[in-house]
Chain A
Amino acid sequence: MKADGDILATLALQFTIMALLALGGATAVVPEIHRQAVELRGWMTERQFADMFAIAQAFPGPNVMIVTLVGYHVAGLAGAVVTTLAMCGPTALLAGVLARTWDRFKDAPWRQVVQAALVPISVGLVAASAIVLSQVAIRNWVAGVIVAVTAAVAYWTRWNPLWLLGLAGAAGFAGLV
């Protein structure tokens, strides 16, 4: 029981910190989740981490829901509740409080400076996520080809991403990956 409580407390603390640092949304914290869950604490293997990201992306709902899967994997239903609340609670509270005072700063010059400073950081975090996940997902040359082709198609065409996920799943099913 004590160990369970410890794990839940660790999940609550780490995911709250992550949420407060998640400039640019949920994708920004994927490398940190990987660092904590795979590298630091050994809660899951590289492969399980890649699987969870794949599941969270392939099903409807906001992509922040990967934290629910990770929480469930680490500590069952209680873990899922803790990671989801830690990730989605504190910052939403902050947003709700600020919603009413925000209009006052609409044209403040500092707001524009801060915004200009934060955009490249948040994009850099998304790029970091892409690097970490690609390293995890590329297990052989076929997977590498899938990563490259999907990236190119998604960048240069307006195909629905679900088709790409479906095709790649079919390629995996056929035993290619």
Chain B
Amino acid sequence: MSDSTASSPPAAPYVPSHSELFFAFVRITLSGFGGTLVWTRRMFVEEKKWMTAEEFNDAYALCQFLPGPNIVNLTSIFGSRMRGATGAFACWSGFLILPFTFMVVLGTLYAKYGDVDMLRRILGGVAAAASGLLIATAAKMAAPVFHRFGPAPFVLLATAVAIGVMRWPLLWVMVVMVPASIALAVWVRR
């Protein structure tokens, strides 16, 4: 906040340093209840003004297009745009360092106390609620897909049944579904 060394005029685009990028993402993970995307946008677009709203949307669109954990990919894209490869690493590591440490601590505690009856019961309740939340998320995401005619609803159902009910390997399902879905999308467009 009180960075007096860089009092540049707002006209020149300010490029944050590596340590600024690193600690920006550490801070985002600290406030990470309720999803890190919200906090990332807030810091980069509203607070620090390192990106415009359009630039942010564009970076996010690229993330959704790519495989892998979206928000982790987003850190790499930001860093790369700001400071190249080393900037990408600064953002990526800043984002992962605390959650990783946290999970290792929780993993240690779980290994030690996971069989304690009280903890089992609590986790049993939380697991049920967590899967309920996921059902709601899936339903919300599926709604716009079903509001349209075309192959998309069938592709959605086929994927859900193949993985969720038949329990087929992800690799083979994707090898079939991705080209099939692209072919259908091209065919519908014509």
Q: What chain A residues lie within 8 Å of B102 (beta carbons)?
A: 59-61, 65
* Complex contact A54–B126 (CB within 8 A): yes
Given contacts A88-B96, A95-B63, A99-B59, whether A72 and B134 have CB atoms under 8 Å apart is no
C-alpha spacing A48/B110, complex, angstroms: 10
Query: Could you say which of A20, A48, A94, A126 has the most chain B C-beta atoms within 10 Å of its C-beta?
Result: A126
Q: Which of B1-9, B10-18, B29-37, B44-52 contacts A (4 or more CB under 8 A)?
A: B29-37
* Complex contact B132–A172 (CB within 8 A): no
Could you tell me the distance in whole angstroms from the C-beta of B164 to the nearest C-beta in chain A?
3
CB closest chain-B residue, reference A156? B136
Number of interface residues of A (CB under 8 A): 110
* Complex contact B134–A130 (CB within 8 A): yes
Instruction: Tell me, yes or no, whether A7 is within 8 Å of chain B by CB.
Output: no
C-alpha spacing A62/B189, complex, angstroms: 36
Q: What chain A residues lie within 8 Å of B142 (beta carbons)?
A: 123, 127
Q: How many A-B residue pairs have CB under 8 A?
A: 360
* Complex contact B129–A146 (CB within 8 A): yes
Instruction: Tell me, yes or no, whether A168 is within 8 Å of chain B by CB.
Output: yes
Could you tell me the distance in whole angstroms from the C-beta of B142 to the nearest C-beta in chain A?
5
C-alpha spacing A47/B133, complex, angstroms: 18
Identify which of B68, B108, B137, B186 contacts A22 (C-beta below 8 A).
B68
* Complex contact A149–B114 (CB within 8 A): no
Interface set, chain B 78-135, CB cutoff 8 A to A:
79-81, 85, 88, 92, 95-96, 98-100, 102-104, 106-108, 110-111, 114, 118, 120-135
* Complex contact B181–A61 (CB within 8 A): no
Q: What chain A residues lie within 8 Å of B139 (beta carbons)?
A: 151, 155
Q: What chain B residues lie within 8 Å of A3 (beta carbons)?
A: none
Given contacts A72-B104, A124-B157, whether A155 and B140 have CB atoms under 8 Å apart is yes
C-alpha spacing A152/B110, complex, angstroms: 30
Given contacts A113-B189, A162-B34, whether A68 and B134 have CB atoms under 8 Å apart is no
Given contacts A61-B29, A61-B102, whether A128 and B181 have CB atoms under 8 Å apart is no
Could you tell me the distance in whole angstroms from the C-beta of B177 to the nearest C-beta in chain A?
5
Q: What chain B residues lie within 8 Å of A42 (beta carbons)?
A: none
C-alpha spacing A52/B109, complex, angstroms: 12
* Complex contact B128–A177 (CB within 8 A): yes
Q: What chain A residues lie within 8 Å of B141 (beta carbons)?
A: 123, 126
* Complex contact B92–A88 (CB within 8 A): yes
Could you tell me the distance in whole angstroms from the C-beta of B112 to the nearest C-beta in chain A?
12
Interface set, chain A 65-110, CB cutoff 8 A to B:
65, 68-69, 72-73, 77, 80, 84, 87-88, 90-100, 102-103, 106
Known: A62-B36, A173-B118. 15 other contacts (CB 8 A): A20-B67, A55-B110, A57-B130, A72-B103, A80-B103, A95-B68, A106-B58, A129-B134, A153-B136, A155-B140, A164-B132, A165-B126, A171-B125, A176-B125, A177-B128
